[in-house]
Amino acid sequence: MLKRTTPVFLTFLYLMGPTSAITMANSAETDAPRSVILLIGDGFDDQHVTMGRNYLAGPDGRLLLDAMPVRGAVQVQTVDNEGRWTYVADSANTATTLATGVVTNIGRVGTGPADEDVMTILEMAASAGYGTGAVSTSSITDATPASFIAHVSKRICEGPETILGGEKYGLPFEGCYEDARGNGGPGSIAEQIMTSPIDVALGGGLIYFSERLPDVQTSLLDTAKDHNAVVITEPEQLTSPIPDDKRLIGLFAPEHLPVRWQGDGGRKAESPDPSWLNLLDWRLGSVDQPAVMSCEPNPEYGKTPSLAALTRVAIERLASATSQGFFLIIESASIDKQSHERNPCGSIGEIAQLEEALQVALEYAGRHQNTMVLVTADHAQAAQIVPEPSLFDDIPVPVYSPGKIARIQLDDGTIMRINYATNNFESEEHTGANVPLFANEKARAYLDPYMRQQDIFEAMGEFLNLNVTHDTDGL
Total residues interacting with its own copies, rule: CB under 8 A: 74
User: Interface residues for its own copies in 389-408 (CB under 8 A)?
Assistant: 390-392, 395-403
User: Which one of residues 16, 23, 62, 182 is an interface residue with its own copies (CB under 8 A)?
Assistant: 62
Work out whether 270 is an interface residue with its own copies (CB under 8 A): no
Kindly tell me which of 84 and 303 has the beta carbon lying closer to its own copies. 84
Work out whether 166 is an interface residue with its own copies (CB under 8 A): no
Work out whether 297 is an interface residue with its own copies (CB under 8 A): no
Using alpha carbons only, give the angle 35, 121, 138 rounded to the nearest 5 degrees.
Answer: 90
The answer to whether 286 touches 265, Cβ cutoff 8 Å, is: no
Work out whether 472 is an interface residue with its own copies (CB under 8 A): no
Kindly tell me which of 77 and 467 has the beta carbon lying closer to its own copies. 77
Work out whether 281 is an interface residue with its own copies (CB under 8 A): no
User: Which one of residues 23, 29, 32, 59 is an interface residue with its own copies (CB under 8 A)?
Assistant: 59
Burial class (CB within 10 angstroms; exposed 0-12, middle 13-18, buried 19+) of 214: exposed
Stretch that binds its own copies, among 126-134, 180-188, 204-212, 377-385 (CB under 8 A): 377-385
Work out whether 146 is an interface residue with its own copies (CB under 8 A): no
User: Which one of residues 81, 286, 423, 469 is an interface residue with its own copies (CB under 8 A)?
Assistant: 423
* Number of neighbouring beta carbons within 10 Å of residue 224: 19
Could you confirm whether 127 is annotated as catalytic? no
User: Which one of residues 98, 152, 157, 416 is an interface residue with its own copies (CB under 8 A)?
Assistant: 416
Q: How far is the CB of 459 from its own copies (least distance, A)?
A: 15
Contacts by 230-237 with C-beta closer than 8 Å and gap 24+? 233/206, 235/303, 235/304, 235/305, 235/309
Work out whether 165 is an interface residue with its own copies (CB under 8 A): no
Q: Of 35, 91, 196, 334, which is the active-site residue?
A: 91
Alpha carbon of 237 to those of 234, 241, 317: distances in Å? 6, 8, 14
CA–CA gap between residue 88 and residue 83 (Å, rounded): 14
Q: Where are the beta strands (DSSP E) in 359-424?
A: 371-377, 384-386, 404-409, 415-420
The answer to whether 157 touches 141, Cβ cutoff 8 Å, is: no
Alpha carbon of 169 to those of 74, 253, 423, 473: distances in Å? 34, 20, 19, 41
Work out whether 413 is an interface residue with its own copies (CB under 8 A): yes
Q: How far is the CB of 212 from its own copies (least distance, A)?
A: 28
The answer to whether 437 touches 457, Cβ cutoff 8 Å, is: no
Kindly tell me which of 88 and 475 has the beta carbon lying closer to its own copies. 88
Per-residue DSSP letter, 474:
T
Kindly tell me which of 86 and 324 has the beta carbon lying closer to its own copies. 86
Work out whether 184 is an interface residue with its own copies (CB under 8 A): no
Classified as helix, coil or strand, 292 is strand
Classify each residue of 159-170 as buried b or exposed e, where b means 16 or more C-beta atoms within 10 Å of its C-beta: bbbbbbbeeeee
Per-residue DSSP letter, 192:
H
Q: How far is the CB of 230 from its own copies (least distance, A)?
A: 37
Strand-strand pairing, 200-204 and 247-251:
parallel
**C-alpha count within 13 angstroms, C-beta hemisphere, residue 38:** 29
Work out whether 32 is an interface residue with its own copies (CB under 8 A): no
Q: How far is the CB of 86 from its own copies (least distance, A)?
A: 7
Work out whether 348 is an interface residue with its own copies (CB under 8 A): no
User: Interface residues for its own copies in 72-131 (CB under 8 A)?
Assistant: 72-73, 75, 77, 84-88, 90, 106
Work out whether 45 is an interface residue with its own copies (CB under 8 A): yes
User: Interface residues for its own copies in 447-466 (CB under 8 A)?
Assistant: 449-450, 452
User: Which one of residues 3, 12, 29, 66 is an interface residue with its own copies (CB under 8 A)?
Assistant: 66
Q: How far is the CB of 100 from its own copies (least distance, A)?
A: 17
User: Which one of residues 1, 36, 70, 345 is an interface residue with its own copies (CB under 8 A)?
Assistant: 70
CA–CA gap between residue 71 and residue 259 (Å, rounded): 27
User: Which one of residues 178, 255, 270, 429 is an interface residue with its own copies (CB under 8 A)?
Assistant: 429
Identity of the amino acid at 297: P
Q: How far is the CB of 151 from its own copies (least distance, A)?
A: 22
Q: Name the strand (E) or helix (H) holding 47.
A: helix 46-56
Q: How far is the CB of 424 from its own copies (least distance, A)?
A: 6
Q: Residue 168: beta bridge partners?
A: 171
Q: Which residues are catalytic?
A: 91
